[in-house]
Amino acid sequence: MKAVQGRCYLVTGGGSGLGAAVVEALVQRQARAVILDMNADQGTKLASSLNINQHDPVSLFVQTDVTSEGILFVIDSLTHLNLHSH
């Protein structure tokens, strides 16, 4: 599925359950994923496991509560990162 290849996606609730499954599916299809979740342990563990044996990171974890205004700061900050595939 080339529609997602080389793109970067923000996945809310990406640390576990359905969100984690979405993150894994995106990475398998050569996309990059920013994992947004309140649970730092699960989010960090998932990002680390996806980045093993990768030349460039394919995932990034950001601990945040997407129901708060702080998410706007997170999204603004992420727009300045170069997360595109090489």
Residue 60 maps to a domain: yes
84 lies in some domain: no
What is the number of structural domains in the chain? 1
Does the residue 1 lie in any domain? no
The residue behind tokens 């359950």 is 17
CATH number, position 30: 3.40.50.720
User: DSSP state, 18?
Assistant: H
Is 23 within the bounds of a domain? yes
Res 15 pLDDT > 80? yes
Flag whether 19 is in a domain.
yes
Confidence band for 1, pLDDT divided at 50, 70 and 90:
low
Q: Is residue 2 part of a domain?
A: no
Question: What pTM, to 2 d.p., does this model score?
Answer: 0.83
Q: At which residue do the structure tokens 């576990």 appear?
A: 16
Residue 23: both structure tokens together = 């993150």
Q: What is the pLDDT at residue 83? A: 54
Domain that holds residue 43: 8-78
pLDDT 10s digits, 21-60? 999 999 999 999 999 999 999 999 999 999 998 888 899 9
* Contact by Cβ (8 Å): 42, 66: no
Question: Does residue 51 form part of some domain?
Answer: yes
Q: What's the confidence (pLDDT) of residue 34?
A: 92
Tokens of 70: 């702080």
